[in-house]
Amino acid sequence: MLPLALALVASLTEPTQQKPTTKDAKPNFEAVFAAPRFGSNFDDLDARIRELETISLASPKDIQSVTAKLLDVAKKGRKLEKKSGSNWWFEKEKRGLFIVGGETGNPKGLLLALHGGGKGSGDASSAQGVYSGAASKLDWLMICPEVLEKTEHGWTDSGTEEFVVQLVEAALRTWKIDMDHVYFSGHSMGGYGTWTMGAHHADRVAALAASAGAPTPYMGTDGKPTDIAPGVVPNLRNVPIVIYQSDDDPNVPPETNRIGALRLGEAQKRWGGFVHEYWEVPSRQHDLPPGGMSALLAKIEKRVRDTRPTKVVWQPALAWKRQFYWLWWDRPVVGAIVVADVDKTKNEVVVTCDKDAKGLEVLLDEKLVDLKKEVVVKLNDKEVFRGLPSAEMGTLAKTSLSGDAELMFAVRVKLAP
């Protein structure tokens, strides 16, 4: 399915004479996709994108044509074998184990089942054991990755998070799964991974279900949690999360998840959204929820991703996570708080950022604003744009890198060049 940006009308501003059009250019999209998009050095990728930003897309037909070409290139990326069982992402090194299970024929959704563990412990087979039946009942494809290094924060250490993101993208290239039906769930340390990676990549998932695992807390002098580490709670405005906890868990005491649920409630009052359920039960220690993972996943199975929320709250946690819903940040400032609102009655976008917003952009299409009319964009109460924004090939290219058609945009407005 092509993004709604394709519905742009011909009345978008005409390209200037200095800008080449699609008829004049033969862009090398393969080179864009070949440039590194993880890590911290984007020089090669950005240079390729800048070349494309000089090319205007003057009509909906141009946008549709370029979108199709970009998606064709994206589909040429790595795919997985369509069968159940264990595999290696890094075959030569025998590293990056993942197990495929659940419905592998015609899956209705994709479940990333994250295992527990810690320093020196944990494996993908444990997640397979507790999630396989539940995934099959829902007709979901299940993928159980194994952390690259078994540490206390294995899901966000040692390149594991990048591995998981690439695994999700490969699975979506391999099977015909609606990209709006991707779910993360995990037990124990897998609950930590669900909270944390789910928040970092909230724009890629429909819902989260954390079992007996919690995000990283800040601890007070009395040894009790006082807050949640940044990059988690604010990002969950548009992603429902279910948090399961036993009140006597000796491995993951309830205080951290209680404070996490409290922070979600506070964020809900402040910004709206933040649908969550805190499910605490007595006397199960570190066991699975009552009814097992089927009962847990039943709480999120009907959730569908929203790719165009009219309010986005983003607290970047990763240098390489540069797009978040309809926001793009060339060099995201880790820990900053960005709040972006669309007022459709005024055809206006209002953004606040509590840090230097250099390189921050809003991405637009007809589902967010009326591109036939004047669009107003403000940053921290200052008007930074008023007019008819034009479509560019570079914007379309950089938002296509994940292969997620629902997060592709052709129009952008720079907030702080």
Average pLDDT per consecutive 10 residues, the chain (417 residues; last block may be shorter): 43 47 74 94 95 91 95 97 96 97 97 96 97 98 98 95 98 97 98 98 98 97 94 98 98 98 98 98 98 98 98 98 98 98 98 98 98 97 97 97 97 94
**In the chain, what is the greatest distance between 2 CA atoms, to the nearest angstrom?**
72
Tokens coding 61 = 């037909």
Contacts of 298 (CB under 8 A, 6+ apart): none
Residues 6 or more apart from 154 whose CB is under 8 A from it?
Answer: 117, 118, 122, 147, 148, 160, 189, 193
Judge contact between 351 and 231, C-beta under 8 A.
Answer: no
How far apart (Å, rounded) are the C-alpha atoms in residues 333 and 111? 30
* Residue among 363, 390, 387, 361 nearest 375 (CA): 387
Q: What does the block give as tokens for 241?
A: 């999360």
Q: For the stretch 256-283, what's the b/e string if a residue is b when 16 or more beta carbons lie within 10 angstroms of its beta carbon?
A: bbbbbbebbeebeeeeebbebebbeeee
Contact 183, 209 (CB under 8 A): yes
Q: How far apart are CA 54 and CA 25, in angstroms?
A: 10
Q: What is residue 150's three-state secondary structure? A: coil
Instruction: Return the axis-axis angle of helices 160-174 and 189-200, rounded to nearest 10°.
Output: 70
H or E, element range at 111: strand 109-114
| All residues at 6 or more sequence positions from 83 whose CB lies less than 8 Å from its CB, including other chains | 100, 104
User: What global pTM score does this model have?
Assistant: 0.93
pLDDT of residue 16: 43
What is the distance between the alpha carbons of residues 117 and 7, in angstroms, rounded to a whole number? 47
289: its two tokens: 């929820």
Instruction: For residue 163, give both structure tokens.
Output: 């591995």
Tokens matching residue 144: 């159980």
Do residues 215 and 195 make contact, with C-beta atoms less than 8 angstroms apart? yes
CA distances from 244 to 141, 198, 288, 318 (A): 23, 15, 9, 26
Is the C-alpha dihedral spanning 171, 176, 179, 184 positive or negative?
Answer: negative
Structure tokens at 96: 């990056």
Q: Rounded to an integer, what is the distance from CA 407 to the centroid of its chain?
A: 10
Q: Give the residue among 358, 339, 363, 359 at the shortest CA–CA distance from 350.
A: 339
In the prediction, which pLDDT does 40 show? 87
Question: ∠212-191-327 over CA atoms, to 5°?
Answer: 145
Buried b (16+ CB within 10 A) or exposed e, 354-390: eeebebbbbbbbbebbebeeebbbbbeeeebbeeebb
pLDDT (0 to 100) of residue 229: 97
Count the neighbouring beta carbons within 10 Å of the beta carbon of residue 60.
18
Start and end residues for every CATH 3.40.50.1820 domain found in the chain: 85-298
Distance CA 265, CA 277 (A): 10
Query: How many H helices and E strands in the chain?
Result: 9, 19
Spatial contact of 351 and 314, defined as CB atoms under 8 Å apart = no
Domain 85-298, CATH: 3.40.50.1820
Write down the pLDDT at residue 26: 73
3-state DSSP percent of the chain in helix, strand and coil, to 5? 30, 25, 45
Residue of 177, 195, 176, 231 lying closest to 114 (CA atoms): 195
